[in-house]
Amino acid sequence: MGFLDGLWRGRESEFDSGSAATNAIELTKRHSQVSLTKQGAATGHLRINLAWRMRTSDITGSQRESLLRHPFKALKPPEVLGHSQSMVNVDLDLGCLYELQDGAKGVVQPLGGYFGDVNGPPYVKLSGDDRFGSASGETIYVNLDNRDAIKRLLVFAYIYDQTPAFDRTQAVVTLYPSNGPRIEISLDERQPQARSCAVVMIENVKGEIVVRREVKFVYGFQGELDRLYGWGLQWGRGYKTKAER
């Protein structure tokens, strides 16, 4: 492994928010489900974070040469590299389709300014809109103290108004329960034309809060995810306000 590769791998620690690397559960196709209830983690605020950066192989030759001459430039925030004119500008957004036990349904997402509410229905709130894939990424909070009111939550990611490039990002969705290890889902399947991805389902199954990996890519937007999972909402073209951008 070269020195430059070592620097890039070192940046991956930013996704961990200081947690030990071993203190994590990775959901995969083979091991796709975990119970928060059985782990004693079905209370408090569940934090769900989306972080991403461009793959190292997408750095141009001139950028590689510059980094070799000045290796500590690799320690700069990834958006500095990810938004050069020679690379695809990717704006990944995090969203959540919700269905409550009383039948209420809707979406929490930056598009349209549907940021939700963590202390009242739907007990889901999006904190900000990160357009640059920085280490902090985008975060959704779920109030599991009101878990009895929640039927199911589908957390998804989508590319807003840019070139589809899921295959050129290293996107990771991480769930941080109030207790116990974090839960990681990598969007590592190569789907170059996909615009949206259903990442994880959080479901109340007879009082047990179950987290299940989905990672299903679609070529459309939220409406296609809705049809795939039978949410039954009405969708129209939405826009971000200047404040959200």
DSSP 34-59: EETTTTT--SSEEEEEEE--B-GGGS
Residue 3 forms part of a structural domain: no
- Report the CATH number that the domain containing residue 93 is assigned in CATH: 2.60.60.30
d(CA 196, CA 30): 22
Residue 2 forms part of a structural domain: no
Whether the predicted pLDDT of 32 surpasses 90: yes
Q: Which has more pLDDT, 157 or 164?
A: 157
Of 77, 71, 59, 60, the C-alpha closest to 7 is 71
Residue 18 forms part of a structural domain: no
Residue 79 forms part of a structural domain: no
What is the span of the domain harbouring residue 125?
Answer: 23-56+88-229
Question: Backbone phi, then psi, for 71, in 5-degree steps?
Answer: -60, -25
Counting the structural domains of the chain, the total is 1
Residue 80 forms part of a structural domain: no
Q: What confidence tens digit (pLDDT) does each residue in 92-151 have?
A: 889 999 999 999 999 999 888 889 999 999 999 998 644 444 445 689 999 999 999 999
Residue 149 forms part of a structural domain: yes
Could you tell me if 64 and 4 are in contact, meaning their C-beta atoms sit under 8 angstroms apart? Answer: yes
Give the 3-state secondary structure of residue 147: helix
Whether the predicted pLDDT of 191 surpasses 80: no
Per-residue DSSP letter, 8 = H
